[in-house]
Structure 1
Amino acid sequence: MLIFYVKKEHAEFISEVEAETVGTGIMGRMGNKGAVAIRFRFHNSDICVVNSHLAAHVEEYERRNQDYKDICSRLQFRQLDLTQPPLNIMKHNVVLWLGDLNYRISDLDVDDVKELINKKDFETLSACNPQLKRQIDKEAVFDGFMEGQIHFQPTYKYDTGSDQWDTSEKCRVPAWCDRILWKGQNVQQSFYQSHMALKTSDHKPVSSLLVIGIKRINAEAYKKTFEEIVRNIDKMENECIPSVTLSKREFHFKDIKFMQHQAETLSLLNDGQVPCQFEFIQKPNEPTYCKPWLTANPPKGFLAQGGSVDIDLEVFVNRSTAPELNFGKQQIEDILVLHLERGKDYFISVTGNYLPSCYGTSIQLLCQLREPIQDMPQETLHKLVMSEVGNAVYAEKSLDIPKELWMMVDHLFRSAIKQEDIFQQPGLRSEFAEIRDCLDTGMPDSLPGSNHSVAEALLLFLDALPEPVVPYCFYQQCLESCSNASQCEKIISKLPQCHQNVFRYLAAFLRELLKNSDSNRLDVNILATIFASLLLRSPTKQDLAEKRRTQEFFQHFLTQGSA
């Protein structure tokens, strides 16, 4: 929660207030971790306040780092001018970041920490290389952020309702989990303290008073200067037309992979005699200025005379764009048109080679591939999609289920059947990349990464299927029959054979997980919530009632004794 109060005398100078939230649980959907943020303009300074709750447990500092990066990349504020790209957290003059960051003290045991606390030797304790300081020093998180000196005892973990350190079986090491950091110029901290009197939680709250220098423009001087600039610009425009120099006009992205970000920089230099405005514009008969797998950031802007700007050309293939790229229906090819207002257009070529992936490939086609998808010639893959003859050739060799699906489920069955919070805790992005490469190339022989990373890779695989496990044409029947177990079974029996095999295989695996619910803490409701929306996807946006009916449908196959 984040509550924003403004003194009455300041209210008229507050503008552009926006609030956003982002979850960092598995696939950004599950769990209670994430952030809420508010941004606003005070006079002429842009300020952003973020309250976050990062991943728990002493050893999970890498997951906390990933949560921080996810929040920074995914939490975006829309601008009043909807033609402008959204603002991210770091696009502000001052950023205040607070919350339960969950970084711990991991180099001392609990008795040593408590001894230093009893001596009130917080300086020595804070110098023992706690996790947050270590990660900041490595520039892994909170690059450029500051924090005041800590002169209070750790704020976690207490027995609720008391000042007693954790007396549970886990006996957690006290730590400064609750922090307040800032980034920006002209910020001074007046105090930084905890509030030991509050006992409603296993944390003690912290507070800080920050004095921030705010930019204020002299309106009269600004108007006079602006009018003078406009007069000079008008004079120059009569003499000159805008012109820019481009660092490159051809960009090639090599070995693009599913959900792996690539970026290159296009530099513009205003070598003309006047300031200019630039913008990437739509080509005839195209809805946007670029293909959906490509973005230019910023897509428009202003360049002073002699000024320069770096534009990031970013390529990212997701579940929407992967299917047609996988088999050559579409290529990584586009022409960007950079337009100068009252000037000429510049044409920029963007090409690349996309490495086909099982992610974004249909169940039916994957069942026809006995070799890893990247070992198959592009021509063969294309024929499998475009030609019925190609399908007939491979029909005799078809697998019952995709081998990639089998590898992930088999790994989880052997290694994660009792894994606590499986399918509820997110994996690491770097490990997903290794798992994807293993599935697409066949190397190494066994899947790398943690159980949580393999579990999330499985969910992403199901989410990326062009046609869900229960094809769209059966969706309405599923909703109508959700309360009748025998009718639900009849619908599944009518699915195309490979889809039916996958559905029954996954349901059988999930029933095995439920047999170990005492260890993995799963139940029917949790699994139905996670998997129903992936197996029974709506052709259009689902409302809450539809989601509940898809979960009811799938629950019939999770209970003991289901076929």
Structure 2
Amino acid sequence: AFAVIPDSDLHVIGSDVTVQISSEDDRLTVRLPFGSHTRTFLQELSRCKPSPATSPRPRPRPRPRPRPGPARGGQPPRAAPWRAEPGRGGAGPAAAELPRCRRAGGPAEVSPGGAAGTRWGPGAAGGGPGTGLEARDPPGTARPAVQGVFLSWAASSSFVFPSRQSKVKSDVKAEMVRSSGVMVSNMASILSEPQFGLRDTIVKSQLVQREDSYTYIQNFSKFPMAGNASILCAPGFLSHSFCLFFQELDLSKEAFFFNDTPKEEEWFKAVTDSLHPDAKYAKVKLVRLVGIMLLLYVKADLALNISEVEVETVGTGIMGRMGNKGGVAIRFKFHNTSVCIVNSHLAAHTEEYERRNQDFKDICSRMQFCQSDPNLPPLTISKHDVILWLGDLNYRLEDLDVAKVKQLVEEKAFSELCRYDQLKRQMNAKAVFEGFTEGEISFQPTYKYDAGCDDWDTSEKCRVPAWCDRILWKGQNIAQLSYRSHMALKISDHKPVSSVFDIGVKVVNEELYRKVFEEIVRSLDKMENANIPSVTLSQREFHFEDVKYMQLQIEKFTIRNGQVPCQFEFISKPDEETYCKEWLIANPSKGFLLPDSEITIELELFVNKSTATRLNSGEEKLEDILVLHLDRGKDYFLSVTGNYLPSCFGSPIHTLCYMREPIQDMSAESIQNLTLMPLETSDAATQAERPLEIPKELWMMVDHLYRNASQQEDLFQQPGLRSEFEQIRDCLDKGMHDTLLGSNHSVAEALLLFLESLPEPVICYSFYNSCLECANNYLLSSQIISKLPECHKNVFEYLMAFLRELLKNSGKNHLDMNILASIFGGLLLRPPPGHPTPDIAEKRKAQQFIHQFLLREDTLP
């Protein structure tokens, strides 16, 4: 026999359920994400454990997983027959219940149908030990309120947490891993069950299509999107769920570059300790990206109605991935309603509203959630019934000076002020947040204040007050009950905002569901094997004209189904692992069509650093054949072609050094010969023409920054505009202008993207391990640099000299040597292909290696 023990002493950040499985011979620790699959895994293990009331017997095999089916009378399914009722020797029914946890010092929780005295400690931040839904009980004694736990946080500040007298421990019994089937009252679980074959797909699709015939709307009042300690503990404020969001939780360099911060756990503990003492809440999920954090609780008695929980993060900072700006999201199903909550921190500064619009679009396009059914494409934010979008959106007030804004605030003329609000203007122009709603703003701007008081910004910059912190929603059956700020909180230069919602949720009527289910099955019985599916395609040949580096092109076509339900999928050709080339993707790549229905497929072509080099050299062409396969039907063949415009992005350093003219002015044959020229022979004296010391494209970008951005704040830390990057790329590839177009931030980001796209980094792959080994020895490090090919060595010295010049102006540009070393360390010193993803230790060594050369100006040997 073996025990299944969720071990609270196994403190793992980022793992939602830590389980120990011990037998006579082995002890296995498993870390599992929260979700239906984890719950099923625990249920199957639970079935294998013999009942305490039975005599020892041979270890049983796991039973087959039961198919989902309706339960009668709305009652939860019975537990496994061997489950002993507390205090008795015989078996008895037990309600399906997730394990519970309690506060240290509080009374033990007795779960319905569970063993008395079973206790569960609250999980760690990021989903630490314990179950994915971690419930807590009211404490036995009063506790001090935590100050400063609030929703919309946009400034760095110190915070002192109350001490705990003892560490929270868990005393777990295996009986708490309960066995349960799928309750029909939770349609989300039913529809998320793995399905196999066309018939199951049709049933599932028909159930979704006829959802209105077996569901009804039930309102869950008070869905607050905020809370400091006083809010969470306020009398009468017993909400069904709480969602807390933070920005700039930790602004340290470690958090910025390594996404590692102890404050995540500190804030989680502070929030958990501040929950209302008269209610039991379960933690659904915590997700964090650097300083952007989102934390969701629900009342414990609603936990079983939560399913399909997924989280995702998207960084929109420099190079489109740094987490100083971006978004985090939690999506889940509550009963039969899908909900997505997004917390975002968008680009700063009044003039950067276009960048904020772009950040929003990037988050929407890149935020994709995996579905429990692997046959279905990922879900985007827009594919949810209810969307709540909140955070420091950073939109400002424009066309008004500081004095006028403050005057209107004093007069409480908020409606007048809203006319100058960038977010309102951009929404009216349908440039951003299309279809979203924001409640009436009846509170003064939440930014910018002097920390510790209610005075407006008195710094040298004297920022114009603005409503940076916002809460918006999209969907039906949503009523906003309140929308306010909290002036009493003074530890930030922002004032937090909160909102309370009344959200109508679709709940399944079990009797009607059974009726609809049976009708669908009977209808399918009549249709089965009647016909072979067939479709018509609106287009079968696609040509992408003048494809450029990192510039997305999309072609669309429509699949129109006939009279038979159809399941389609793009399949790989013989001897190929994927259905398309790396630069192409079909969205969606698989799906299901009801009779006489249609779907639009988008073919997205995008050339990035991994594909540009072979396209530049001509080794690969923009040519592919897609095979569209119909289940039980025939295959359709789609032809995809295009012409790629060669670019300096993705070209080797030594190749560019031999190009004295813009790359797009050269013949395809010349580009191919130079790109395929081996690096070791590029320095040979036999070459007909002496190469440039460094690529002219690199010189143009660095020279522009040296002349125009030596005193630019946040250089290499604030992203540029994508449209400006495209202009800069075209200037470099065509040689159209002597001066690069675009802002300094866009040129700086283009430089970083150029270095990232090099097929062989500035410090060649073969020297990677040697550089890490001597990261703290300048003499050995400089000897390694001296061994680089001449063109690579020149580029390295040139970049180090440029960065040292920037650091001489650090008093004005506020650049930090460690930040520059981290950014350029990850670009100049990259691990070779096939090398494991660098851990924090490797990243720190790469940073230290570059740091040496920023400190020293010695001439390399």
Cα deviation 1:82-133 (Å, max 9, x = unaligned): 443322221211110111111111122222222222222222222x231111
> Within the alignment, does 1:141 sit opposite 2:432 as a pair?
yes
Distance in 2 separating the partners of 1:543 and 1:120: 52
More moved, 196-205 vs 97-106: 196-205
User: In the TM superposition, what is the alpha-carbon distance from 1:323 to its structure 2 partner?
Assistant: 0.8
Instruction: Give 2:383's aligned amino acid.
Output: K
Where does 1:364-375 land on structure 2 (aligned, <5 Å)? Answer: 364-375=654-665
8 Å contact kept, 1:31–1:425: no
Name which of 330, 333, 336 aligns with 1:41.
333
> Within the alignment, does 1:363 sit opposite 2:653 as a pair?
yes
Instruction: Give 1:383's aligned amino acid.
Output: N
User: In the TM superposition, what is the alpha-carbon distance from 1:9 to its structure 2 partner?
Assistant: 2.9
Cα deviation 1:148-195 (Å, max 9, x = unaligned): 111112122222222222222222222211111001122111111112
Q: 1:489 to 1:306 in 2, by over 3 A?
A: same
> Within the alignment, does 1:544 sit opposite 2:840 as a pair?
yes
Instruction: Give 1:96's aligned amino acid.
Output: L
Q: 1:397 to 1:84 in 2, by over 3 A?
A: farther
User: Match of 1:4?
Assistant: 296
Instruction: Give 2:442's aligned amino acid.
Output: H
SS of the aligned residue for 1:167 comes to coil
Distance in 1 separating the partners of 2:356 and 2:529: 56
SS of the aligned residue for 1:98 comes to strand
SS of the aligned residue for 1:59 comes to helix
Distance in 2 separating the partners of 1:386 and 1:517: 41
Where does 1:385-400 land on structure 2 (aligned, <5 Å)? Answer: 385-386=675-676, 395-400=688-693
8 Å contact kept, 1:99–1:180: yes
User: Match of 1:206?
Assistant: 497
> What TM-score does the superposition give when structure 1 sets the normalisation length?
0.96
Distance in 1 separating the partners of 2:615 and 2:808: 40
SS of the aligned residue for 2:508 comes to coil
Distance in 2 separating the partners of 1:221 and 1:290: 44
Distance in 2 separating the partners of 1:409 and 1:552: 23
User: Match of 1:242?
Assistant: 533
Q: 1:523 to 1:149 in 2, by over 3 A?
A: closer
User: In the TM superposition, what is the alpha-carbon distance from 1:439 to its structure 2 partner?
Assistant: 0.6
Where does 1:253-292 land on structure 2 (aligned, <5 Å)? Answer: 253-271=544-562, 273-292=563-582
Distance in 1 separating the partners of 2:453 and 2:850: 45
Cα deviation 1:325-378 (Å, max 9, x = unaligned): 111100111111111110111011111111111111111111111111111111
8 Å contact kept, 2:396–2:467: yes
User: Match of 2:627?
Assistant: 337
Distance in 1 separating the partners of 2:549 and 2:464: 41
Q: 1:362 to 1:519 in 2, by over 3 A?
A: same
User: In the TM superposition, what is the alpha-carbon distance from 1:234 to its structure 2 partner?
Assistant: 3.9
Name which of 613, 637, 650 aligns with 1:323.
613
Distance in 2 separating the partners of 1:386 and 1:113: 61
Name which of 454, 457, 461 aligns with 1:166.
457
User: In the TM superposition, what is the alpha-carbon distance from 1:428 to its structure 2 partner?
Assistant: 0.7
Cα deviation 1:198-240 (Å, max 9, x = unaligned): 2221222111111122223334433433343333334334221
More moved, 166-175 vs 489-498: 166-175
User: In the TM superposition, what is the alpha-carbon distance from 1:305 to its structure 2 partner?
Assistant: 0.4
SS of the aligned residue for 2:600 comes to strand
Name which of 505, 517, 532 aligns with 2:798.
505
More moved, 48-57 vs 223-232: 223-232
User: In the TM superposition, what is the alpha-carbon distance from 1:29 to its structure 2 partner?
Assistant: 4.6
SS of the aligned residue for 1:352 comes to strand
8 Å contact kept, 1:432–1:457: yes
Q: 1:29 to 1:239 in 2, by over 3 A?
A: closer
> Within the alignment, does 1:107 sit opposite 2:404 as a pair?
no
User: In the TM superposition, what is the alpha-carbon distance from 1:286 to its structure 2 partner?
Assistant: 0.7
Q: 1:523 to 1:161 in 2, by over 3 A?
A: closer
User: Match of 1:556?
Assistant: 852
Cα deviation 1:384-428 (Å, max 9, x = unaligned): 34467x978855241111111111111111111111111111111
More moved, 169-178 vs 40-49: 169-178
User: Match of 1:463?
Assistant: 756
Distance in 2 separating the partners of 1:385 and 1:204: 55
Q: 1:396 to 1:383 in 2, by over 3 A?
A: same
User: In the TM superposition, what is the alpha-carbon distance from 1:321 to its structure 2 partner?
Assistant: 0.9
SS of the aligned residue for 1:547 comes to helix
> Within the alignment, does 1:514 sit opposite 2:807 as a pair?
yes
Name which of 738, 745, 762 aligns with 1:452.
745
User: Match of 1:379?
Assistant: 669
Instruction: Give 2:785's aligned amino acid.
Output: I
Distance in 2 separating the partners of 1:407 and 1:15: 53
Distance in 1 separating the partners of 2:557 and 2:516: 32
User: Match of 1:68?
Assistant: 360
Q: 1:153 to 1:91 in 2, by over 3 A?
A: same
8 Å contact kept, 1:237–1:274: no
Q: 1:385 to 1:115 in 2, by over 3 A?
A: closer
Distance in 2 separating the partners of 1:220 and 1:288: 44
SS of the aligned residue for 2:647 comes to coil
8 Å contact kept, 2:489–2:495: yes
More moved, 117-126 vs 359-368: 117-126
8 Å contact kept, 1:368–1:394: no
> Within the alignment, does 1:435 sit opposite 2:728 as a pair?
yes
User: Match of 2:701?
Assistant: 408
Name which of 26, 29, 37 aligns with 2:318.
26
8 Å contact kept, 2:313–2:327: yes
Count of aligned residue pairs for this structure pair = 561
Instruction: Give 1:287's aligned amino acid.
Output: E
Distance in 1 separating the partners of 2:712 and 2:784: 32
8 Å contact kept, 1:281–1:337: yes
User: In the TM superposition, what is the alpha-carbon distance from 1:135 to its structure 2 partner?
Assistant: 0.9
User: Match of 2:118?
Assistant: none
> Within the alignment, does 1:186 sit opposite 2:482 as a pair?
no
User: Match of 2:389?
Assistant: 97
SS of the aligned residue for 2:782 comes to helix
8 Å contact kept, 2:539–2:557: yes
> What TM-score does the superposition give when structure 2 sets the normalisation length?
0.63
Instruction: Give 1:313's aligned amino acid.
Output: L
User: In the TM superposition, what is the alpha-carbon distance from 1:380 to its structure 2 partner?
Assistant: 2.0
More moved, 395-404 vs 180-189: 395-404
Cα deviation 1:432-468 (Å, max 9, x = unaligned): 0000111111112321111110000000000000010
What's the Cα RMSD here?
1.8
Cα deviation 1:18-67 (Å, max 9, x = unaligned): 12222221114546222221111111111101111112222221222122
Name which of 815, 818, 832 aligns with 1:525.
818
